[in-house]
């Protein structure tokens, strides 16, 4: 299932570490997609600097309206960047990409159960699938870095930690489920910059939904994320929570559509779009 | 068709003037909706200060996915604030409002043709209609005013001028059509403030799509808008163009769905939402 060249990420406690190194930062999105198509897998934070990353969820056409409505009704976790026509494997976000092969790793869902995590979904593809590309908070990490805000999970070579919250999304037809968040520890003196920089990019989740005490989101233990890796805090760091594009996967688990394909959390689609295209001011 | 109490707006060259006076500025959205329900009609710029105004388009359920996709693919003219369930006459934006009666004036469309402009659409309502509430640029006019930017059409007691452009929207299924824009003359020294203030409200069209020469949008004569009224320029004013929520009506004209209901241009739904809810930073 995995390609094993020297770029295949090693694992720590069975978790893949991120792909990011100086080389991967400078990749073009096309190069990144080509590597992923060859089988390279791992979290994409920090890959292809300045290019917009996206969450993927593909559902059968008879679920597409409810998925689009779910996204419209929950724009913080589900800002839609593109919706394909049924059966199409391409997106306006990267016209030469193939959505079946060009992500590092996928998840295959049947009746809300995770049944496979391949690096290629050509054998699972169906002609009735409508694909949703949803903004990803990795996109604003470059803006955080430029503003002097440390990105701990990238510094520590880990996937971003993600948590299923007790906040319920507004349902849409058969689709319902909790909001998922990503968390980044932020030094108190940089909280203002972190909020400002992310807020100006609403298409990739915008400003945080919560800062501080994780119990406000029903999160019991920051050391045990539901997806991704725990990250270490520096003294005084405040946990800051952004709505996360893994939320549609939580909706799949809660709502049990017969079939869905998604990206694996943290292993995103690298689009040709530039982050600056989504900055509102 | 019109109610004739002393608030019914007078007309200039057969065009209604705006409703705005000091009294209407201070109305609550509920009061505004009650007046409109009684039959009062006219453009709503400046009514119910600080409350979010919305465009309305209601289409049969079998057109709803394409309409929602059209909006997603054209987020500048069509930022969706709410989508109702089929047949529902209420919206989360104002739970006690009735979408069939509470707008000043409606348009009824059959096969892309305008067939009626009533102040109440109860007799036209159908149980399969899905309603879309779309952000309106009247919402950011309060922010412009607060930043010292004059709003000429309000000063002059006119409806905002709107123009069908030569820019084609990205199609969605059977729906296609040109982008419509609203235009406001802005003094050069205040252009920066106008762009900044509107950009921070992307849910109500955000920053302008064009400034200056109207021929860049295929507009031949600013004095002859396609909807609304011409406005007078002060010396040195620059024409500034924002994407407009009348765009779905242009799509109805171009795409000819069998049936649609919309608001009349400039005569908006007054929601209970506050503009500040949509400010991203």
In this structure, what CATH number is given to the domain that contains residue A128? 3.40.1640.10
Say yes or no: B18 and B124 in one domain.
yes
Average of per-residue pLDDT values in chain A: 93
Say yes or no: A119 and A148 in one domain.
no
Query: Tokens representing A83?
Result: 């919706």
Residue of chain A nearest B201, judged by CA positions: A280
Query: Tokens representing B210?
Result: 């064009």
Residue among A161, A177, A150, A179 nearest A76 (CA): A179
Question: Chain B residues with CB inside 8 Å of A206's CB?
Answer: 280
Dihedral angle over CA of B145, B147, B148, B151, nearest 10: -30
Say yes or no: B146 and B132 in one domain.
no
B-interface mutation test, from A84, A196, A280, most B Cβ less than 10 A away:
A280
- Measured at the CA of A221, the angle between CA A220 and CA A227, to 5 degrees, comes to 105
Least confident of B10-24, B31-45, B179-193, B216-230: B10-24
pLDDT over 90 at B4, yes or no:
no
Residue among A77, A25, A83 nearest A51 (CA): A25
Does the distance separating the beta carbons of A68 and B69 come in below 8 Å? yes
The domain in which residue B261 lies consists of 11-137+257-278
Give the whole-angstrom CA distance, residue B106 versus residue B121.
Answer: 7
* pLDDT at residue number B20: 65
Name the pLDDT band for B264 (thresholds 50, 70, 90). very high
Q: Give percent above pLDDT 90 in chain A.
A: 90
Say yes or no: B104 and B206 in one domain.
no
Question: Chain B residues with CB inside 8 Å of A74's CB?
Answer: none
Say yes or no: B99 and B146 in one domain.
no
Say yes or no: A101 and A144 in one domain.
no
Tell me if B4 is assigned to some domain: no
Say how many CA atoms lie within 13 Å of B139 toward its Cβ.
Answer: 37
pLDDT over 70 at A5, yes or no:
no
Residue A68: helix, strand or coil by DSSP? Answer: helix
Neighbours of A27 (CB within 10 A): 18
Tell me if B5 is assigned to some domain: no
Tell me if A6 is assigned to some domain: no
Tell me if B32 is assigned to some domain: yes
Say yes or no: A193 and A126 in one domain.
no
Q: How far is B251 from chain A (nearest CA, A)?
A: 19
Tell me if A3 is assigned to some domain: no
pLDDT over 60 at B12, yes or no:
no
Dihedral angle over CA of A49, A163, A197, A57, nearest 10: 60
Name the pLDDT band for B15 (thresholds 50, 70, 90). very low
Contact B142, B197 (CB under 8 A): no
pLDDT tens profile B148-187: 999 999 999 999 999 999 999 999 999 999 999 999 999 9
* pLDDT at residue number A1: 32
Name the helix (H) or strand (E) containing B94.
Answer: none
Question: Chain A residues with CB inside 8 Å of B170's CB?
Answer: 92
Residue of chain A nearest B70, judged by CA positions: A83
Q: Which residue has the tokens 């270490």?
A: A232
Give the whole-angstrom CA distance, residue A266 versus residue A44.
Answer: 6
Provide φ and ψ at A89, rounded to 5°.
Answer: -105, 10
pLDDT over 80 at A16, yes or no:
no
Give the DSSP letter of residue B41. Answer: -
Residue B133 CA, distance from chain mean position: 10
A-interface mutation test, from B66, B68, B273, most A Cβ less than 10 A away:
B68
Q: Average pLDDT in the A17-42 region?
A: 87
pLDDT tens profile A163-195: 999 999 999 999 999 999 999 999 999 999 999
Give the whole-angstrom CA distance, residue A230 versus residue A219.
Answer: 13
Question: Chain A residues with CB inside 8 Å of B82's CB?
Answer: 73
pLDDT over 90 at B30, yes or no:
yes
Residue B68 CA, distance from chain mean position: 17
* pLDDT at residue number B10: 40
Tell me if B233 is assigned to some domain: yes
Residue A252 CA, distance from chain mean position: 15
pLDDT tens profile B206-242: 999 999 999 999 999 999 999 999 999 999 999 999 9
* pLDDT at residue number B23: 86
- Chains A & B: contacts with CB separation below 8 Å: 43
Residue among B26, B45, B27, B35 nearest B119 (CA): B35
Say yes or no: A257 and A132 in one domain.
yes
Question: Chain B residues with CB inside 8 Å of A68's CB?
Answer: 65, 68-69, 72
Tell me if A1 is assigned to some domain: no
Domain count within chain B: 2
pLDDT over 90 at A20, yes or no:
no
- Bridge partners of residue B12, in order along the sequence: B15
Does the distance separating the beta carbons of A281 and B196 come in below 8 Å? yes
Give the whole-angstrom CA distance, residue B6 versus residue B38.
Answer: 12
Name the pLDDT band for A12 (thresholds 50, 70, 90). very low
pLDDT over 60 at B53, yes or no:
yes
Name the pLDDT band for A11 (thresholds 50, 70, 90). very low
Give the whole-angstrom CA distance, residue B132 versus residue B126.
Answer: 15
Say yes or no: A123 and A17 in one domain.
yes
Residue among A127, A104, A70 nearest A245 (CA): A70
Q: Which residue has the tokens 């089929």?
A: B86
Q: How far apart are the first and last CA of chain A?
A: 43
pLDDT tens profile A74-128: 999 999 999 999 999 999 999 999 999 999 999 999 999 999 999 999 999 999 9
Q: How far is B197 from chain A (nearest CA, A)?
A: 9
Tell me if B99 is assigned to some domain: yes
* pLDDT at residue number A23: 86
Query: What CATH number has the domain bearing residue A160?
Result: 3.30.2040.10
- Bridge partners of residue A122, in order along the sequence: none
Say yes or no: A126 and A95 in one domain.
yes
Which parts of B7-137 fold into alpha helices (H)? 22-26, 29-38, 64-73
Give the whole-angstrom CA distance, residue B271 versus residue B30.
Answer: 8
Q: Give percent above pLDDT 70 in chain B.
A: 92
* pLDDT at residue number A211: 97
Residues whose CB falls within 8 Å of the CB of residue A155, separated by 6 or more in sequence, listed in order:
none
In our burial notation (b when 16+ CB lie closer than 10 A, e otherwise), range B5-31 reads: eebbbeeeeebbbbbbeeebeebebbe
Say yes or no: A264 and A132 in one domain.
yes
Say yes or no: A198 and A128 in one domain.
no
pLDDT over 50 at A215, yes or no:
yes
* pLDDT at residue number A7: 37
């Amino acid at each position: 299932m995995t390609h094993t060249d020297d770029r295949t990420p090693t694992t720590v406690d069975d978790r893949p570490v991120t792909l990011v190194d100086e080389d991967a930062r400078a990749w073009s999105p096309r190069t990144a997609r080509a590597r992923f198509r060859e089988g390279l897998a791992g979290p994409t934070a920090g890959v292809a600097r300045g290019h917009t990353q996206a969450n993927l969820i593909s559902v059968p056409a008879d679920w597409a309206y409810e998925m689009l409505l779910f996204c419209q009704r929950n724009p913080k976790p589900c800002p839609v960047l593109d919706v394909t026509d049924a059966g199409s494997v391409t997106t306006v976000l990267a016209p030469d990409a193939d959505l079946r092969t060009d992500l590092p790793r996928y998840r295959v869902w049947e009746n809300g159960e995770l049944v496979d995590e391949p690096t290629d979904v050509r054998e699972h593809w169906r002609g009735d699938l409508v694909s949703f590309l949803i903004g990803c908070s990795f996109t604003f990490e470059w803006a955080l870095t430029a503003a002097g805000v440390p990105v701990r999970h990238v510094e520590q070579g880990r996937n971003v930690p993600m948590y299923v919250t007790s906040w319920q999304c507004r349902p849409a037809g058969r689709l319902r489920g909790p909001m998922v968040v990503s968390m980044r520890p932020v030094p108190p003196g940089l909280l203002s910059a972190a909020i400002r920089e992310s807020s100006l990019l609403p298409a990739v989740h915008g400003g945080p939904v919560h800062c501080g005490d994780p119990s406000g989101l029903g999160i019991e233990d920051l050391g045990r994320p539901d997806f991704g890796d725990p990250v270490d805090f520096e003294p005084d760091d405040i946990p800051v929570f952004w709505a996360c594009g893994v939320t549609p996967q939580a909706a799949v688990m809660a709502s049990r559509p017969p079939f869905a394909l998604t990206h694996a959390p943290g292993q995103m689609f690298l689009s040709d779009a530039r982050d600056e295209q989504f900055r509102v001011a």
